[in-house]
Chains A and B, each alone.
Chain A
Amino acid sequence: DIVMTQSPDSLAVSLGERATINCKSSQSVFYRSSNQNHLAWYQQKPGQPPKLLISWASTRAFGVPDRFTGSGSGTDFTLTISSLQAEDVAVYYCQQYYSPPLTFGGGTKVEIK
């Protein structure tokens, strides 16, 4: 199974400041044939189901604000929130879909400092 490791476990950022979340996979999730990284990011607010933010490592889902940016390739990925808003308080998960079983990172809790 591909193990997804996120860091940090939690972070506190001031409103308007940048938040950076890292995700590392135990093996590459890059498919040469499609030239795509099979990596997604989700946001989960308390009491709600997760919401897809980014797929293919860097493609924002419909309606996702452009302050959310996904980057990286191979085994190392980053989700950046460029200017943290109050509504961004949530737990963020990365997920690989390179090969089953589909696996998630342990989550990163983002709070307001």
Chain B
Amino acid sequence: QVQLVQSGAEVKKPGSSVTVSCKASGGTFGGNAISWVRQAPGQGLEWMGMISPMFGTTNYAQSFQGRFTITADTSTNTAFLEVINLRSDDTAVYFCARGGGVADPTFDSWGQGTLVAVSS
């Protein structure tokens, strides 16, 4: 059973950048898509976008176009979320999840979440 293991919590200053990683432990991504989902403190779930590691294709929600970049390294079975020019309202828990693609649209496996706190 492949598990998704994310990098640890980050504290960042406004205007800086952060990269969160998501590694498939015990296996590979295979043909699955990997999505990123944001959850602000006390709020609901927001799909940010996805990548198909096999093909390298991405799809972003409009709210997450520009400052957010999703990439994947198939040699290490790791997906990444980079956020540049961080703002205070980027403070949230960021989850990676398997799924969100055409062939695997539901999120059947999730990382543990990574808290990114943005504060001066």
Contact = CB atoms under 8 A, between A and B. Distances in A.
Interface of A: 1, 38, 40, 42, 44, 49-52, 55, 61, 93, 95, 97, 100-107
B112 A49 contact: yes
A3 B75 CA distance: 37
Contact of A102 (B95, B100, B112): B100
Contact of B44 (A51, A100, A106): A106
A58 B113 CA distance: 27
Contacts, number: 53
Contacts of B107: 40, 42, 50, 52, 95
Given A93-B44, A104-B45, A49 B110 contact: yes
Contacts of B113: 49
B110 A101 contact: no
Given A38-B105, A49-B95, A97-B105, A102 B110 contact: no
Give the size range of B's interface with the partner: 20 to 34
Interface in B51-107: 59, 61-62, 95, 97, 100, 105-107
A101 B44 contact: no
A51 B110 contact: yes
Interface in B26-47: 35, 37, 44-47
Given A49-B111, A49-B113, A104 B106 contact: no
Nearest to A56: B106
Contacts of A103: 47
A101 B47 contact: yes
Contacts of A44: 45
